[in-house]
Amino acid sequence: MKKLTTIAALSMLITTTEMANAQSTEKRYETNPYTLVYEGALTNNEKGKVNIHPVKYKLNGIEIVANVYTPAGYDASKKYPAITVAHPNGGIKEQTAGLYAQHLAEAGYITIAADASYQGASGGEPRHTDKPQFRTEDIHGMADFISQYPGVDANRLGAFGICGGGGYTLKAAQSDKRFKAVATLSMFNSGEVRRNGFKNSQLNTIEERLKQATDARAQEIAGGEILFSGVASVTDEEIAKTPAGLYRDGYAYYYRSHAHPNSTFLYTTSSLLDLMAWDATDQIELIDQPLLMMAGGNSDTKYMTDEAFPKAVNAKSKELFVIEGAAHIETYWKPEYVSQAVDKLEGFFKENLK
């Protein structure tokens, strides 16, 4: 199987047979009872401490698998503010979304991190479908579920999204006014990148790639083999050859240090029909809630946050917080950068979820 060696190769097509050969090189998830892969993850529930509760619920007929984190001393008869946490593209609830959900629970919030529909442990076919309307609906679905969770004050609900989950959180908050405060970290505008290429590197192939996506959908509908874009696995040599930045760091994170069998860089090629016509900033002026956007100072994706932030002209209040020295993926796991983001989130939600 050809594997990704350059950013431009992200648009390559692979088959379901090749996808089946994808392997995770790290097994840290096997040592955690909840298959969590982040540092400091919970290994058991202890009375009086932050606890994790695996849950399942239906969203538009699809089974969603999620983890709910409750704060220390949780008492279902009391009322707590709650926060939805949307994971990155290719990510799952056991990785950075779980890390931030746990930290926010440590700060006194009930949090939920769910696997997106068609991805992770959640249901939906074909697998790895990655349509923006589904990802946005997943965030509405987290709000549905957590608003009814014992002890949650539905009038104090916040939304937080990381990477692609940040872009989809911006979209969900435009219309879902249950969210009283909205925050993003290392926001990734999936539509812009799938359409224009990373850093606008594929502007001259937009129509060609739309034709590929159209053909892939037609093939699916005709009962043919499903085509996938992205990468199923990567060798150490290929990681080393990938240009420094988001993708090289991402391969190291998702396929080595924080690998999990439910996590993948694959998405159905037919999803591009929807992704390439979508943009996280379209109608962003509908956000009238307080808005916090965070990005690493050394992140090669920061341009997406810089583009979106000034367009949120009707946010009740807004702040752009730069985590100096941090690259995109480093905000997922590196303690000195995670602690800065968590501190900022704690202050933001404390002020706006009173």
Q: pLDDT at position 18, please? A: 43
First to last CA, the chain: 53
Non-local CB neighbours of 110 within 8 Å, separated by 6+ positions: 68, 69, 70, 71, 74, 80, 81, 82, 83, 146, 149, 151, 152
Give the dihedral of Cα atoms 346, 349, 350, 353; nearest 10 deg: -160
Q: pLDDT at position 232, please? A: 87
Q: How many CB atoms lie within 10 A of CB 262?
A: 18
Instruction: Report the distance separating Cα 104 and Cα 8, nearest Å.
Output: 37
C-alpha to C-alpha distances, 219 to 56, 145, 224, 349, nearest whole angstrom: 33, 36, 5, 46
What letters, b where the CB count within 10 A reaches 16 and e where it falls short, cover 83-100? bbbbbbbbbbbbbbbbbb
Amino acid (1-letter code) at residue 4 = L
Instruction: Report the distance separating Cα 252 and Cα 248, nearest Å.
Output: 6
pLDDT along the chain (354 residues), means of 10: 35 46 60 96 97 98 98 97 98 98 98 98 97 98 98 98 98 98 98 97 97 98 96 91 93 94 95 98 98 98 98 98 98 98 98 96
Predicted TM-score (pTM) of the model is: 0.93
Which domains does the chain possess? 7-352 (3.40.50.1820)
Pairing assessment for the beta strands 227-229 and 267-268 based on DSSP bridges: antiparallel
Q: pLDDT at position 26, please? A: 52
Closest residue by Cα to residue 255 from 229, 228, 230: 230
Q: What's the per-residue H, E or C state across 19-65?
A: HCCCCCCCCHHHHCCCCCCCCCCCCCCCCCCCEEEEEEEEECCEEEE
C-alpha to C-alpha distances, 181 to 154, 187, 290, 346, nearest whole angstrom: 13, 16, 5, 12
Residue with tokens 């760091």: 249
Q: pLDDT at position 22, please? A: 39
